[in-house]
């Protein structure tokens, strides 16, 4: 039987959803116009005033907000509420430099946790369940979001955070965890470890998993489902909009319902910015219509996907998005951490290497690997293995402190990396996702 956390919202008629969106958008636009000088300036530049926005049909008139705007306005420039009204900060899984910092009022957290509770109930969760949250806790939104959602559903929550896989397995077994929340790659790793320990799916109490924060294929879903003996559900979100729970999968497992009472979704052509008709593939753009502290209008996610309003057998009426099929920028997500090739380049250049390098990303046994091949200059060339190992380690350490990730570094002889006559191919992503 299908269960809903907020049935009156999740199965509302399209007319009702549109009416909520119309009303909330008009209010939100007025709110940012009055309270966020950065927005007012952007709107003025485009010649738009709040009077021009009467319903969601006028949405296209508003300017886009991009990550560059967030950087420019960092840290407080997009806030619509004074700091004293805010109770929480979260930040992207990115890296050093200017991360995205998002602010929340208590009301914002409440609505965010409702979205996560909807996801848990769509995965079959109830107050009888034991929910192990193995997403990272802290600045990353995964742990705190699912933790809050789990409480709202009334699950017995185990906040293990990520890491220490043997202990994760011990808790799942000893405390009879029925729902596991973590990244899909970590779920696969937990599954593999269980297999190595000689555990079969019927010896594992889990029945469902809520996995997201990175791309994962249908093949990977099947693999996880078989090893853990569960049904694996996708969940999507981004820090800028709250965190996990912007959209989530239901029992149909054919795309993720976007919580349309909080977020208006559009698909645009990433080159021209033009809004594309329903069913087209393009860049996903979100407008947050209920956020108080950090509202974003027409935020370009850079995620590429398709939207569909085909009726869903689960009874939910909110629009569905496909799994993101890629990104318009060059950001890589490696083991759940956002990595830009330019950051790797910075480390290499800082250590005196030329910009002749190649980044090879792969997925081995369901875990992402990052391999950086770096060319030595003729001056630094040596065949002394001890010296090479020492220099490679320096780079590994430099990359770890920049990215927070362990990479493999291989120093190669001068002129080994193929030169390109056009754009250099810096990244080879061998993952089949």
* Contacts with ligand DLL, residue ranges (CB under 6 A): 92-93, 135, 141-142, 212-215, 234-239, 243-244, 301, 303, 323-324, 327, 333
Distance CA 54, CA 21 (A): 11
Of 259, 252, 256, nearest to 231 by C-alpha is 252
Judged by beta carbon, residue 211 or residue 353, the one nearer ligand DLL is: 211
Closest separation in Å from C-beta 304 to ligand DLL: 9
Cβ atoms 100, 108 nearer than 8 A: no
Closest separation in Å from C-beta 11 to ligand DLL: 23
Judged by beta carbon, residue 113 or residue 375, the one nearer ligand DLL is: 113
Closest separation in Å from C-beta 259 to ligand DLL: 13
Closest separation in Å from C-beta 87 to ligand DLL: 19
Judged by beta carbon, residue 216 or residue 357, the one nearer ligand DLL is: 216
Closest separation in Å from C-beta 318 to ligand DLL: 16
CA 166 to chain centre: 26
Closest separation in Å from C-beta 288 to ligand DLL: 14
Distance CA 80, CA 102 (A): 12
Cβ atoms 293, 286 nearer than 8 A: no
Closest separation in Å from C-beta 228 to ligand DLL: 17
Judged by beta carbon, residue 53 or residue 284, the one nearer ligand DLL is: 284
Judged by beta carbon, residue 22 or residue 249, the one nearer ligand DLL is: 249
Judged by beta carbon, residue 116 or residue 395, the one nearer ligand DLL is: 116
What are residue 178's phi and psi, to 5 degrees?
-105, -20
Compute the half-sphere exposure of residue 278: CA atoms within 13 Å on the CB side of its CA: 7
Judged by beta carbon, residue 134 or residue 356, the one nearer ligand DLL is: 134
Judged by beta carbon, residue 333 or residue 409, the one nearer ligand DLL is: 333
Distance CA 275, CA 49 (A): 20
Residue 286 tokens, joined: 């979100």
Helix (H, G, I), strand (E, B) or coil at 15: helix
Cβ atoms 354, 345 nearer than 8 A: no
Q: Which residue is nearest to ligand DLL (CB)?
A: 212
Question: Which of the 8 DSSP states describes residue 58?
Answer: G
**323 - beta bridge partners?**
none
Of 57, 56, 53, 73, nearest to 65 by C-alpha is 73
**Residues 6+ away with beta carbon under 8 Å from 32:** 39, 40, 80, 295, 297
Compute the half-sphere exposure of residue 69: CA atoms within 13 Å on the CB side of its CA: 19
Residue 423 tokens, joined: 């754009």
Closest separation in Å from C-beta 325 to ligand DLL: 9
């Amino acid at each position: 039987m299908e269960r809903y956390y907020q049935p009156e919202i999740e199965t509302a008629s399209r007319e009702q959803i549109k009416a909520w969106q119309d009303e909330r958008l008009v209010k939100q636009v007025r709110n940012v116009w009055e309270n966020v000088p950065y927005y007012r300036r952007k709107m003025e530049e485009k010649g738009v005033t709040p009077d021009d926005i009467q319903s969601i049909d006028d949405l296209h008139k508003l300017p886009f907000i991009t990550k560059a705007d967030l950087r420019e306005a960092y840290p407080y420039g997009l806030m619509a509420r004074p700091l004293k009204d805010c109770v929480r900060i979260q930040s992207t899984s990115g890296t050093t430099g200017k991360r995205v910092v998002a602010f929340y009022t208590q009301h914002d957290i409440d609505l965010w946790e409702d979205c996560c509770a909807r996801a848990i109930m769509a995965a079959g969760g109830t107050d009888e369940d034991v929910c192990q949250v193995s997403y990272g806790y802290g600045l990353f939104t995964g742990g705190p979001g699912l933790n809050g959602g789990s409480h709202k559903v009334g699950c017995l929550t185990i906040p293990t955070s990520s890491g220490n896989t043997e202990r994760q397995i011990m808790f799942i077994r000893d405390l009879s965890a029925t729902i596991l929340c973590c990244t899909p790659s970590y779920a696969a790793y937990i599954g593999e470890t269980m297999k190595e320990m000689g555990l079969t799916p019927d010896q594992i109490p889990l029945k469902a998993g809520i996995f997201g924060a990175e791309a994962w294929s249908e093949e990977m879903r099947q693999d996880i489902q078989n090893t853990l003996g569960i049904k694996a559900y996708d969940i999507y979100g981004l820090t800028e909009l709250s965190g996990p729970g912007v959209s989530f999968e239901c029992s149909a497992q054919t795309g993720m319902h976007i919580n349309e009472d909080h977020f208006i979704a559009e698909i645009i052509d990433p080159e021209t910015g033009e809004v594309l008709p329903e069913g087209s593939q393009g860049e996903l753009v979100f407008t947050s219509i209920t956020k108080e502290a950090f509202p974003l209008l027409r935020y370009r996610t850079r995620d590429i996907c398709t939207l569909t309003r085909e009726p869903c057998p689960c009874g939910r009426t909110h629009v569905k998005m496909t799994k993101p099929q890629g990104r318009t920028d060059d950001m890589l997500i490696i083991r759940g951490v956002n990595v830009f090739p330019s950051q790797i380049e910075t480390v290499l250049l800082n250590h005196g290497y030329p910009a002749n390098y190649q980044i090879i990303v792969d997925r081995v046994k369901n875990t992402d690997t990052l391999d950086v091949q770096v060319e030595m200059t003729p001056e630094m060339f040596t065949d002394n293995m001890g010296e090479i190992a020492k220099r490679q380690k320096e780079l590994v350490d430099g990359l770890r402190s920049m990215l927070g990730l362990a990479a493999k570094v291989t120093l190669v002889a001068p002129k080994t990396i193929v030169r390109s006559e056009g754009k250099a191919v810096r990244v080879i992503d061998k993952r089949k996702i």
